[in-house]
Amino acid sequence: MSQEQPNNPLHGVTLATIVERLVKHYGYPELHRRIPVRCFQSNPSIKSSLKFLRRTPWARKKVEDLYLNTRWPA
């Protein structure tokens, strides 16, 4: 049974979408500056970033927070 999540701004947004949009908006060097993890510095890719973020809750939280606090162009 699925539960409604009306107050969750990330409801329905996949981690892959979050990472792809952040990379497109900031680029890997700026992402690494804002969230200093190796997956954004050493040989970065969407696939390696997703693998790391899925196993590392604190880093995923930082990425999700950055996504929510980013001012996206209209």
For residue range 19-47, what is the model confidence (pLDDT) as tens digits?
999 999 999 999 999 999 999 999 999 99
CA dihedral 18, 22, 28, 33 (to 10 degrees): -110
Stretch (H or E) spanning 57: helix 57-69
Query: In this predicted structure, what is the pLDDT of residue 11?
Result: 87
The vertex-63 CA angle with 51 and 39, nearest 5°, equals 40
With 70 as the cut, is the pLDDT of residue 2 above it? no
Domain 15-65: give its CATH code: 1.10.720.30
pLDDT of 1 reads 46
What single-letter amino acid sits at 10?
L
How far lies 37's CA from each of 14, 16, 70, in Å? 20, 17, 19
Could you tell me the residue ranges of all domains in the chain? 15-65
User: Could you tell me the maximum CA-CA distance found in the chain, to the nearest angstrom?
Assistant: 41
Indicate if the pLDDT at residue 6 is higher than 50.
Answer: yes
Average confidence (pLDDT) over 48-54: 96
